[in-house]
Structure 1
Amino acid sequence: MKRKLSLILSLIITVCFAFTGCGDAEKKEQAKKVKTGGVVTEAIGTSPSGVFLPTAFTFSYDASINNIVYDGLLSLDENMDIAPNLAESYEFSNDNKTLTFKLRNDVKWHDGEKFTADDVDFTFKFCSDEKYKGPYTMFVKNITGYEDYKTGKSTELKGVKKIDDYTIEITTDEVYGSALINFGFMMRIIPEHIWNKDTVEKVQNDTNLIRKPIGTGAFKLETFTPDQGVELVANEYYWKGKPNIDKYVFKLVSSETAESEILNKEVDIIGVGNLTKEDEETYKEQGYRIEDITNNAYHYVGLNLRKPQFSDKKTRQALAYALDRETIVKEVLKGKGEVAYNPYPSNFWAHPDGLNEYKFNPKKSIELFKEAGFEYKENDKKMYYNGNPFTFTYKYVGGDESKTKYALILQQNFKDIGIDVELKPMEFTALSNDVKNGDFDTYSMGIGNFYDGDLGPSYLSTLTPPNGYNYTGYNNPKVDELIKKASTMVTKEEREPVLKEIATILNDELPVIYSYHWKSTMAVSDRIKNFKNAQPIYSQYSNEWFVED
């Protein structure tokens, strides 16, 4: 049963699968059975780097810890709907430019200090400071007065206003449709009394502070041992009530020791690769159940649309029909995924109906190539472009068995319709640099979707590198218009039809060849009760877990 771990990265942009919660009667019955105490241990394949400051995290497992230690003003429930958190309510102004949060008055930091609007005000100003160098810049730059505050022209961040100890307003120059998600959920609040000890430049590099985080989350850090893992303990001040379990441990486990860890019941949650039926049975025999999480993400083949051979959508559609994605899901993912036809997986609220599935059809592919001006010579079974054999290079991350298998299937599929593809495996950093610089014919990557469905960074024509992730150079004025329209809508209900229209256009135009949406698979010990395999991240419900030995 020995398997290489498939790491389950708890970055906010990845996991998105919802299961329906229990009814009220069942919840009351469960509450009677809840036990307190005990430890839950999750296996990780790489140790956190120790940046336990959400405004500065640079590593995925740091994010996993930060998401448990720190809270946002709002949360997302299992249906990806906004739910109260540190803020008990919110309200938009009539023009949708000012967002007012009413904060809970019963929240304490891990050290017992009261949480107030001063902490929220401080967090937004911290991330707007001239010396701040972190990921939250992409959110706060939309706030009124940001540029003046950032450049030192003003000592006041005009768009952030404390009304009283438990009320704060955030104002943007234009309607910012992602305000609720980004200000409320994505940004985690940090305590003023801890981080207001020196300049932003100095404190964000203070290892001692960063490795002793003080948050409002369900668990607080007890120990961090580099190259070993992290131990979190229950927060007795947690506003939802102290968690049922005493400790939540993240333990570094290698692929070589994973089997013994499972056999000895030393881990409770472990990310596993594509399992065979035999493997699944073995896990079950050892007291584990298998949980699949369909990620709100997609794998794709990127095409350099700046090159004339890929500029016609019929060419791209022809390539889609030639790629046997059903076999890829079956053979490469071992069935742990679904064929992709657009950016959104089938369980995401903005996934549209009636999409072209581009089912594997080499004959139709050849016909479309001909319609696009290519020539297919039956005598030598070759595809020609401008009188020359049509060939291109496919770049991908090497050193991974599944990615290599995918590349070989792609190469053979295209060879079957007369196209020779040169495979070029690369290190991820080198591939990323080539893609950003436009140095490619085709490449493959995976990318996560934003929770509010925003597709701008990948498809807006103005967001080519270094301004965004539109690596292919896609340019469609209609899509630009719709993306901008969606960005002014503050509710999911408003956005849904617009996003579905965008996804339908992308399904037709195929700026990339959508390959698959993949699932992350976990083995979870049967001793853990109340475990929710739910979006957006399973650990957000860890305060509800309890264990039975």
Structure 2
Amino acid sequence: MFKHYKNGIAILILLFLLSVVLIACNSDTDEAESEEPDNTEETEDPVEEETDDGAEEEEEEPASDEPQSGGTLTGAMDTAPAGVFNPIFYEEAYEDNILAFTHESLLSQNENLGFEANLAKDWTINDDNTEITLTLEEGVTWHDGEPFTAEDVVYTYKAMASPGYVEAGGVRTEYVVRLVGYEAFNSGETDEFEGVVVEDDYTVTFKYTEPNVTILKDVAFPIIPEHIFGDVPVAEIPSHPATLNAGEVIGTGPFVFSEMLEREQYVLTKNADYWKAEPYLDQIVWRIVDQSVMLGLLENGEIDFIADPNGVPAADYETVAALDHIEIIEQTDFGYQLMGFKTNHRTDADVESGTIEPDNWVPNEDMSEQLVRQAFAYAIDRQAIVDNLLYGHGSVINAPIAQQFWAYDESAVTAYEYDPEKANSLLDEAGYVDTNDDGLRETPDGEEWVVNINYPTGNQLREASAPILAQFIEEVGVQVDLRQPKEMTAYVEDLTNDNTDWDIYLIGWSLGSGDPDPSGLWKSEAAYNFGRWNNPESDQLMLEAMQAPEAFDQDYRAEKYSEWQSVFSEDLPALLLYAQNKIYGFNERLNGVAPMPYGFINDPHLWWVSE
């Protein structure tokens, strides 16, 4: 099975597999980390009826296949949310597990990724796709009882367009940069923002400088309340109590974020006044537990479901599938794991000011060498990781576009199949050779060469992959410093602030489902472009793929994205490791589950439990 590897790599994989077996065997004895907690109308309560002789019949139990009100559902996450529960500022999928229940967008998506009405019940787009006017649902209220209106929509987009938003940590400017007046408003030249306009209490118009190919995606962003944040400076929103504290986070969604025992438990309580229909469940509780104990908790009923962002570990698939009371749904992930290269670093001054200015970046001398990045790609057997760590529940991908999108083009990219001889040749060509016969390569200047690898805790597969990746790179004569993993929140902070000695970083992305446009992650100025990749040809192709009128032709966009994927694959700012299949496991007592291609949480007000 491992005959083409050197012994070190085989032993690493075998040790990981053995640890998984031991964890699975002992999971039922592990202690839990915490001991705590088309619209469908709610089923009416059964009523007593009189028989012909006047006697009352006993109240009948509702049929088992009919929704029942009440009950608590418990889910598990392996990593605690960072604690920013605000749609315009949060950064992690763990926080989204809270926000998906509390906040809503004007539009939602169906199983075919088409856009549908949500907080907006109707919309019209003008002939040249520069304006969209949406009619909002009336009678929707925020969790504190205040009415939801067009003012909230305008405020949300105005906040993301405001001066200081990026400097405060905001990363979602892609939703506002195309709006009329963005540059003038963002630069502080004017206090008026022309891009989003209130027509009346329940009508709002978005205006774009040019015909907008992704107009529906751009208006489908979760809305935050103007009456809570309207008088708060943008720079203070991330630290505001309504961003951080359970009981003060306000949305329009079916559940209220009501309680929190930080890093242990997060409680969502039903919003009885939810505008679609009162939720069946009373509460949904997220517990933070290590992946090693999740299976035991699912088996003994202490938790009811394991879903996003990591789902059931692939190694546990057969064990979970054998449990009579657990149901499994497996689908292709809308994202991927990657090994990124820090090709450039920001200056200290730019980090201090929160500025992302490619012209100021300082090249990372070794990782900025394209041949080195390509050599590392050939040095790593990604298929072995999929086969042996994911047990085949995933796939190797070579372009950072979700496979479900029409834009993904496997034929446009270099496969980078495992080829250590090719890796050695490319490193020699780049001038990284062993000059002192110690078995390790030196830099072209003859200096000691040490490549560091950085990764976060929380994802068991990613943690297991890190030493295997290091071993693969070492097998081609490169000295590796595999650093101690950091907790995700601290890790993302270092990654964002461009710790200047980082070379390689590991991370996973859950991609947006609205459109395949990759600029939010890979455009040079994108906040999430953590490797600080600066490639003008890449930026130009992403721009052309969005320019009207040609971009209204999907074939044209597909061609441009094929060209872009080719550029990405050749320049290789990151090596895409794999797309892991999402494996959702849930107790059969949970009913109404209907995951979308992009996530497990869908219409949770229709979830119910049968006891």
Determine if the alignment matches structure 1 residue 207 to structure 2 residue 269. Answer: no
Q: Which segment drifts farther, 316-325 or 92-101?
A: 92-101
Q: Are the equivalent residues in 2 in contact too, given 1:283–1:289 (CA < 8 A)?
A: yes
For residues 153 and 410 of structure 1, the distance between their equivalents in structure 2, rounded to whole angstroms, comes to 49
Q: What is the match of residue 28 of structure 1?
A: none
SS of match in other structure, 2:306: strand
Give 1:497 shift: 3.2
| Contact preservation (8 Å) 2:334, 2:403 | no
Partner of 2:68: 36
CA contact (8 A) 2:315 2:390 kept: no
**1:403–1:206 CA distance, 2 compared to 1 (3 A):** closer
Relative distance call for 1:349 and 1:389 in structure 2 (3 A) is farther
Other-structure match for 1:185: 220
Deviation at 1:259, TM superposition (A): 5.9
Q: Which runs of 5+ in 1 are unaligned?
A: 8-20, 22-30
Map of 1:338 onto structure 2: 395
After TM superposition, list the pairs within 5 Å mapping 1:95-114 onto structure 2: 95-105=128-138, 107-110=140-143, 114=147
Whole-Å Cα distance in 1 between the matches of residues 217 and 367 of structure 2? 36
The one of 514, 539, 542 equivalent to 2:576 is 514
* Structure 2 equivalent of residue 10 of structure 1: none
Deviations, residues 364-423 of structure 1 (Å, cap 9, x unaligned): 43445556566699x997767648599441322266765564343334333444444343
The structure with the greater share of residues assigned to strand is 1
**What are the equivalent positions in structure 2 for 1:220-231 lying under 5 Å apart?**
220-224=256-260, 226=262, 229-231=265-267
Q: Deviations over 1:440-486 (max 9, x none)?
A: 4444333444442333354434x2xxx63445454433322111123
| Pair 1:450–1:502, CA change in 2 (3 A) | farther
- The answer on 1:485 being equivalent to 2:524 is no
| Structure 1 partner of 2:360 | none
What's 1:156 paired with?
A: 192
Quick check: 2:441–2:477 contact (8 Å CA) kept in 1? Answer: yes
Q: Quick one: which of 77, 84, 107 aligns to 2:110?
A: 77
Partner of 1:241: 277
Structure 1 counterpart SS, 2:387: helix
Q: 1:347 aligns with which of 404, 407, 413?
A: 404
Residue 376 of structure 2 corresponds to residue 319 of structure 1? yes
In structure 1, the partner of 2:415 is 357
Question: Would you say the 8 A contact 2:340–2:573 is kept in 1?
Answer: no
Distance 1:50 1:414, change over 3 A: closer
8 Å CA contact retained: 1:397, 1:431: no
State the alpha-carbon separation in 1 of the partners of residues 593 and 439 from structure 2.
55
Shift of 1:87: 1.4
* AA at the equivalent of 1:478: E
Gaps of at least 5 residues in structure 2 are 1-23, 39-62, 345-362
Partner of 1:413: 472
The question of whether the paired residues in 2 share the 8 Å contact of 1:233 and 1:246 is answered with yes
Tell me which of 170, 182, 201 is aligned to 1:135. 170
Distance between the aligned counterparts of 2:583 and 2:385, measured in 1?
A: 17
**Offset, 1:76:** 2.3
Which structure is richer in relative contact order (CA contacts within 8 A, separation 6 or more)? 1
Contact 1:245 1:543 in 2 (8 A): yes
Call closer, same or farther: CA 1:514–1:438 in 2, change over 3 Å: farther
Which letter maps to 1:69? T
Q: Give the match for residue 424 of structure 1.
A: 483
**Hey, what does 2:516 align to over in structure 1?**
453
Identity %: 27
**Greater mean alpha carbon deviation, residues 264-273 or residues 304-313:** 304-313
Please tell me whether residue 296 in structure 1 is matched to residue 331 in structure 2. Answer: no
- SS of corresponding position for 2:602: helix
Measure the CA separation in 2 of the matches of 1:171 and 1:266. 50
Alpha-carbon shift at residue 266 of structure 1 (Å): 2.9
Distance 2:234 2:395 in 1: 45
Distance, in Å, in 2 between the alignment partners of 1:309 and 1:129 is 37
- The count of corresponding residues between Structure 1 and Structure 2 is 518
Of 145, 148, 159, the match for 1:115? 148
TM-score, length of structure 1 as denominator length: 0.77
Q: Residue 496 in 1 paired to residue 558 in 2?
A: yes
With over 3 angstroms needed to count, the CA separation of the structure-2 counterparts of 1:526 and 1:363, relative to structure 1, is same
For the structure 1 residues 397 and 491, does the alpha-carbon distance in structure 2 shift closer, same or farther, using more than 3 Å as the test?
Answer: same
Query: Secondary structure of 1:501's partner?
Result: helix
Are the counterparts in 2 of residues 74 and 82 from structure 1 also a CA contact under 8 Å?
yes
Q: Distance in 2 between matches of 1:431 and 1:118?
A: 33
Letter in 1 for 2:285: V
CA distance in 2, matches of 1:330, 1:392: 29
Would the alpha carbon gap of residues 395 and 161 (structure 1) be closer, same or farther in structure 2, given more than 3 Å must change?
Answer: same
CA RMSD of aligned residues (A): 4.3
Counterpart position of 2:527? 468
Q: One-letter code of the match for 2:538?
A: V
Aligned partner of 1:274 in structure 2 is: 313
Superposed CA offset, 1:326-383 (max 9, x none): 1222334444432231212433432103143222122343445556566699x99776
User: Does residue 250 of structure 1 match 2:286?
Assistant: yes
Deviation track 1:470-513 (CA, whole Å, cap 9, x = no partner) reads 45454433322111123436769364332232113222332322
Q: Structure 1 CA distance, aligned partners of 2:537 and 2:527?
A: 19
- Corresponding letter in the other structure for 2:195: G
